[in-house]
């Protein structure tokens, strides 16, 4: 009899069947090892925390606090006055009090180094509610991003329809605008809701000097003393996140002149940080083929977000608003020439450079070490290519492994790339700033600069045991995965990191079980564990259709707690499920 026929025959008997969650054999063995006569005392529990969970600083008070918390949840028949019974111990291991990252660590990275020493949680087109072409512009996505820890907000600013005020919108598309002042006020109100560390507002500026002056007034009046404004000169070195707590920082290309009467076409229309010219192509607009007149390997670098700072005809120049220029703390711009010139490090000033996703992919082939060297003092922002109309994203590791601080993402979408972004910024207490590994910061000599293309020896091996999962029965409709029987779950476990470390593996599929007990072990040799992210996914196998999604989680390997941990799973959109979690063990061997 086929499985499908079997399901039809027994659907009413088996449809809502749920076996009680039972401790795996290894958990029972552990309990026996750290208990006496079926009871785990406070001292036993402390010893378990130190020896098995690698919590070397665990005290009797810590163990007692765990027991006190469990006593409120457990029935008397599983909680003994002298300690824990097996069921209570299992409840603790599989509970919210035993997460894979330590909640007590909080912000623990050194926050006193220059901004260029940190990866920064960065948004792209932060005002869009959906796709890049026709969605509404709003301050709601900005507020949501700030509450999730994002520290870099991008606003595209354009004259409104009557040319007397400033709107935020994705230019030359059908997106509906939102007033700039509304966005600024929301940034002020929500900037430090979850993190005290600075918020950078990057402006993609398409304004005339009179409107720039109006923006300067808006920014000054809205942010007041919160604004970090060192004046119109370039900084010689970036301040630290610690020194900039609860400050707002403006970053854009300083206006040198306004080209009055200049025909707007192609790349020239992006007066400050315009879009990838592929935007124009997609809309059927005519873009002059400037590449045809260029020579050399850098001719493709016109697909950028910032104009070069070549001098224009002085007869077309008009004085820029000085009050606007003085508000710009982080100067953006490419300078003259091609990629080699863009990446030149100036010992007397620091700046921000923007590269598109395809530009970076090309640049790392020929200038990988130059990019790493540039990012030791300066900021590099990477943004999605123009054809990502559906607000999808790219692999952020390409930017991070080359030291790029601002890997800009569309936060309103979802998908594996965005899960990696969430995973990276779960580190360091979720404050939105993650200190770059030391090897990306070494600047003693040119030969010491990290080269991501050079293979490295294995530094450590992460051993992952996937015991079991539970919670789908409570968080999903009982017919969500299969109308006639319990689901057939399998887990995918892997690493996202440098090329040598990137790998995905898969458990067996367990049929007809709401509480799958895989009990499988995987090992991942890591050459650069500092940049590695642990990827976890659960899917439900479907023979005839696409497999159903059952949850995901991404964790920074550098902050994983060793031992047995309860790993909560999240939806595709990054929202935490109420009940779904996996019981896993992490070891470094």
| 209/310 Cα distance (integer angstroms) | 19
pLDDT for the residue numbered 357: 96
- The domain total for the chain is 3
Q: What pLDDT, in 10s, does the model give residues 82-114?
A: 789 999 999 999 999 999 999 889 999 999 999
Looking at the fold, whether 192 and 222 belong to one and the same domain comes out as yes
Is residue 448 included in any domain, yes or no? Answer: no
Q: What is the tens place of the pLDDT at every residue in 536-553?
A: 999 999 988 899 999 999
Residue percentage of the chain with pLDDT more than 70: 83
**Does 333 lie in the same domain as 299?**
yes
pLDDT per residue as tens digits for the range 4-20: 444 444 444 444 455 55
Strands ordered across the beta sheet of 533-540: 503-506, 489-496, 533-540, 548-556, 563-570, 576-588, 460-470, 517-526
Tell me which residue range forms the domain holding 27. Answer: 22-93
Question: Does 514 score more than 60 pLDDT?
Answer: yes
Residue 287 has pLDDT above 60, yes or no: no
Please tell me whether the overall predicted TM-score, pTM, comes out greater than 0.85 for this model.
yes
Which of 109, 66, 62, 59 lies closest to 84, judged by CA? Answer: 66
Is residue 386 included in any domain, yes or no?
Answer: yes
Terminal CA-to-CA distance of the chain, rounded, Å? 46
Beta bridge partners of 77: none
How confident is the model at residue 243, as a pLDDT?
A: 98
Average pLDDT over residues 485-495: 97
- Owner of token pair 């005339």: 208
Last residue of a domain, one of 93, 123, 141: 93
Assign 369 a pLDDT band (cuts: 50, 70, 90): very high
CATH of the domain at 319: 3.20.20.190
435 lies in a domain?
A: no
- Cβ-contact 357, 385 below 8 angstroms: yes
Q: Which pLDDT score, from 0 to 100, does residue 121 have?
A: 98
Question: Is 105 a member of any domain?
Answer: no
Whether residue 128 is found in the same domain as residue 38:
no
* Domain co-membership, 279 together with 165: yes
- Dist CA 243 CA 231 (whole Å): 17
Eight-class DSSP state of 101: B
CB atoms within 10 A of CB 533: 26
* pLDDT at res. 208: 94
One domain, residues 302 and 424: yes
Q: Flag whether 259 is in a domain.
A: yes
CB 158, CB 171: distance < 8 Å: yes
Specify the CATH number for the domain of residue 60: 1.10.238
pLDDT band at 80 (very low <50, low <70, confident <90, very high): low
> pLDDT exceeding 90 applies to what percent of the chain?
74
Tell me the average pLDDT of the chain.
86
Position 106 in a domain:
no
Q: Are residues 508 and 363 in the same domain?
A: no
Has residue 27 got a pLDDT over 50? yes
Is 436 within a domain?
Answer: no
Residue 51 lies in a domain: yes
| Res 183 pLDDT > 90 | yes
Tell me how far apart the alpha carbons of residues 478 and 474 are, in angstroms, rounded to a whole number.
8
167 SS3 class: strand
Whether the predicted pLDDT of 262 surpasses 50: no
- Give yes or no: residues 149 and 171 share one domain: yes
What positions carry a catalytic annotation?
Answer: 124, 170
Do 216 and 346 belong together in one domain? yes
pLDDT in tens, 126-167: 999 999 999 999 999 999 999 999 999 999 999 999 999 999
Please tell me whether residues 220 and 75 are part of one structural domain.
no
Report the greatest alpha carbon distance in the chain. Answer: 93
Asked which of 411, 430, 449 is the last residue of a domain, the reply is 430
Q: Give yes or no: residues 364 and 408 share one domain.
A: yes
Q: Where a domain ends, among 32, 60, 93?
A: 93
Q: Rounded to whole angstroms, what are the CA distances from 218 to 108, 125, 154, 222, 508?
A: 36, 20, 16, 6, 58
Return the number of other C-beta atoms located less than 10 Å from residue 247's C-beta: 22
Residues 299 and 357 reside in one and the same domain: yes
Verify that 467 and 422 share a domain, yes or no. no
């Amino acid at each position: 009899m086929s499985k499908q026929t079997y399901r039809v025959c027994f659907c009413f008997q088996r449809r809502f069947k749920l076996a009680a969650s039972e401790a795996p054999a290894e958990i029972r063995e552990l309990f026996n090892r750290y208990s006496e006569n079926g009871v785990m005392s406070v001292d036993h529990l402390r010893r378990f925390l130190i020896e098995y969970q690698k919590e070397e600083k665990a005290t009797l008070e810590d163990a007692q606090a765990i027991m006190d918390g469990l006593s409120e949840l457990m029935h008397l028949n599983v909680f003994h006055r002298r300690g824990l019974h097996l069921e209570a111990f299992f409840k603790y291991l599989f509970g919210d009090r035993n997460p894979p990252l330590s909640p007590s660590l909080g912000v623990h990275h050194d926050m006193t180094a220059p901004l260029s020493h940190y990866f920064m949680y960065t948004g792209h087109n932060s005002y869009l509610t959906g796709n890049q072409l026709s969605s509404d512009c709003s301050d709601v996505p900005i507020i949501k991003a700030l509450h999730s820890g994002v520290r870099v907000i991008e606003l595209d600013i354009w004259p409104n329809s009557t040319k007397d005020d400033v709107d935020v919108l994705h230019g030359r598309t059908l997106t509906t605008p939102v007033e700039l002042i509304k966005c600024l006020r929301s940034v002020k109100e929500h900037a430090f809701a979850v993190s005290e560390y600075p918020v950078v507002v990057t402006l993609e500026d398409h304004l005339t000097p009179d409107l720039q002056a109006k923006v300067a007034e808006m920014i000054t009046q809205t942010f007041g003393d919160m604004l970090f404004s060192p004046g119109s000169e370039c900084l010689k070195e970036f301040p630290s996140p610690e020194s900039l707590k609860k400050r707002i920082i403006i970053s854009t290309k300083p206006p040198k002149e306004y080209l009055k009467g200049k025909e707007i076409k192609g790349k020239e229309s992006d007066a400050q940080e315009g879009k990838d010219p592929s935007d124009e192509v997609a809309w059927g607009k005519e873009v002059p083929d400037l590449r045809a007149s260029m020579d050399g390997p850098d001719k493709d670098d016109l697909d950028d977000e910032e104009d070069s700072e070549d001098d224009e005809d002085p007869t077309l120049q008009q004085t820029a608003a000085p009050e606007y220029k003085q508000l710009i703390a982080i100067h953006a711009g490419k300078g003259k020439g091609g990629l080699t010139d863009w990446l030149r490090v100036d010992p007397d000033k620091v700046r921000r450079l923007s590269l598109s996703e395809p530009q970076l992919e090309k640049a790392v082939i020929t200038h990988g070490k130059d990019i790493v060297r540039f990012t030791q003092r300066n900021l590099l922002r990477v943004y999605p290519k123009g054809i990502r109309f559906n607000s999808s994203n790219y692999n952020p590791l390409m930017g991070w492994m080359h030291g790029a601080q601002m890997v800009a993402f569309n936060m309103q979408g979802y998908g594996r790339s965005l899960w990696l972004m969430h995973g990276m910024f779960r580190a360091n207490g979720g404050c939105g700033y993650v200190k770059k590994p030391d090897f990306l910061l070494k600047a003693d000599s040119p030969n010491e600069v990290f080269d991501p293309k050079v293979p490295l020896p294995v530094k450590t091996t992460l051993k992952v045991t996937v015991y079991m999962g539970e919670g789908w029965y409570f968080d999903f409709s009982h017919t969500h995965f299969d109308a006639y029987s319990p689901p057939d779950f399998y887990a995918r476990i892997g690493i996202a990191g440098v090329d040598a470390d990137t790998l995905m593996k898969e458990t067996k599929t367990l049929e007809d079980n709401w509480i799958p007990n895989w009990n499988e072990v995987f090992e991942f040799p890591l050459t650069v564990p500092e940049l590695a992210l642990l990827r976890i996914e659960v899917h439900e196998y479907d023979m005839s259709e696409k497999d159903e999604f059952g949850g995901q989680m991404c964790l920074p390997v550098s902050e994983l707690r060793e031992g047995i941990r309860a790993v909560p799973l999240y939806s595709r959109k990054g929202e935490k499920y109420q009940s779904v979690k996996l019981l896993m063990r992490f070891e470094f061997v």
